[in-house]
């Protein structure tokens, strides 16, 4: 039976403890999900770090926590990372489109702490919907984290959404930086559909690519089916790595 790990999930207002999410995961043989906090009030009220902590505590064998921080408030960010790591969180979620460049050297103390604590970083890369309250999509360019990626090679960095629509930047970084990983949630599936249909010949390091849903449970079947169509073009070993193996290896390194 196919195994899946979901590396990009959130808390939704109608499922605060992720009970519905876990039931949906059972339907699609999803073993674990990495659940990311968001700043309160952003993106339609997606759950914050405290809500993630409660959901993970309710389903400790199925969910892993990822804490959102805002690096320009550096002292608060450092305190929050320490606190959440003590609670078992494995990841830090950054959203450059909140108004900062992720590789600004002012934020390097944050990356130093993340490295010391053995955590990973998942960044929103790509454009941002107009209704999210983000400052500018320009801060979602994958290349804007490259300085931090190079300065902290021991930290795993995940570029969410493969940088949609700046796919080639993200793919090039995953080929050239050993600590760069990609998730294929959101707009990434559009690139992958074109890629497997032969509309793109750019080389993809599939050992760096991981599946993520980034959706509420009512859309889960659609996101799974989308990738099933894409995965049908891969051999079973490659598909298995993207569904499960790559994520398992990465999450084990920060557990």
pLDDT tens-digit readout, 54-75: 999 999 999 999 999 999 999 9
Looking at residue 45, what is its pLDDT?
72
| Interval 73-84: pLDDT, tens | 999 999 999 999
State percent of the chain over pLDDT 90: 88
Mean pLDDT to the nearest integer, 136-162: 96
Residue 131 clears pLDDT 60, i.e. is over it: no
Record the tokens describing residue 95, joined without a space.
């959203």
Looking at residue 166, what is its pLDDT?
96
Record the tokens describing residue 33, joined without a space.
């999900």
* CA-atom Rg of the chain in angstroms: 17
Other Cβ atoms less than 10 A from the Cβ of 88: the count is 13
Q: How many Cα atoms occupy the beta-carbon half-sphere of 154 within 13 Å? A: 10
Nearest CA-CA partner of 19 in 35, 5, 3 = 35
CB 159 within 8 A of CB 132: no
Ramachandran area for residue 3 (φ above 0: left; ψ -120 to 50: alpha; else beta): beta
What are the chain's domains? 4-254 (3.20.20.140)
Average pLDDT in the chain = 94
Other Cβ atoms less than 10 A from the Cβ of 133: the count is 14
Record the tokens describing residue 29, joined without a space.
């043989």
Looking at residue 227, what is its pLDDT?
96
Other Cβ atoms less than 10 A from the Cβ of 253: the count is 11
| Interval 115-124: pLDDT, tens | 999 999 999 9
Residue 182 clears pLDDT 80, i.e. is over it: yes
CA–chain centroid gap for 162, Å, is 10
Can you tell me the distance from the alpha carbon of 111 to that of 115, in angstroms, rounded to the nearest whole number? 6
| Interval 1-42: pLDDT, tens | 689 999 999 999 999 999 999 999 999 999 999 999 998 666
- With cut-offs at 50, 70 and 90, classify the pLDDT of residue 133: low
Looking at residue 19, what is its pLDDT?
98
Looking at residue 43, what is its pLDDT?
62
Looking at residue 135, what is its pLDDT?
72
Looking at residue 2, what is its pLDDT?
86
């Amino acid at each position: 039976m196919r195994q899946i790990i979901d590396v990009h999930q959130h808390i939704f207002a109608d499922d605060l403890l992720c009970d519905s999410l876990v039931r949906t995961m059972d339907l699609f043989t999803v073993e674990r999900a990495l659940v990311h906090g968001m700043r309160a009030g952003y993106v339609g009220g997606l759950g914050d770090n405290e809500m993630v902590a409660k959901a993970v505590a309710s389903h400790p064998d199925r969910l892993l926590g990822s804490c959102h921080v805002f690096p320009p408030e550096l002292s608060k960010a450092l305190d929050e990372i320490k606190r959440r790591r003590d609670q078992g969180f494995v990841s830090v979620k950054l959203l450059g489109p909140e108004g900062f460049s992720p590789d600004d050297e002012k934020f390097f103390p944050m990356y130093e702490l993340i490295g010391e604590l053995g955590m990973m970083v998942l960044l929103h890369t790509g454009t941002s919907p107009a209704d999210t309250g983000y400052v500018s999509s320009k801060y979602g360019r994958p290349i804007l984290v490259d300085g931090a990626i190079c300065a902290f090679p021991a930290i795993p960095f995940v570029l969410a959404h493969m940088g949609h629509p700046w796919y080639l930047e993200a793919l090039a970084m995953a080929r050239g930086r050993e600590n760069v990983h990609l998730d294929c949630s959101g707009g990434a599936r559009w690139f992958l559909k074109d890629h497997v249909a032969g509309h793109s010949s750019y080389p993809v390091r599939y050992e760096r690519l991981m599946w993520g849903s980034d959706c509420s449970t009512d859309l889960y079947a659609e996101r799974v089916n989308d990738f099933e169509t894409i995965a049908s073009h891969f051999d079973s070993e490659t598909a298995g790595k993207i569904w499960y193996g790559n994520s398992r290896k990465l999450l084990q390194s920060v557990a």
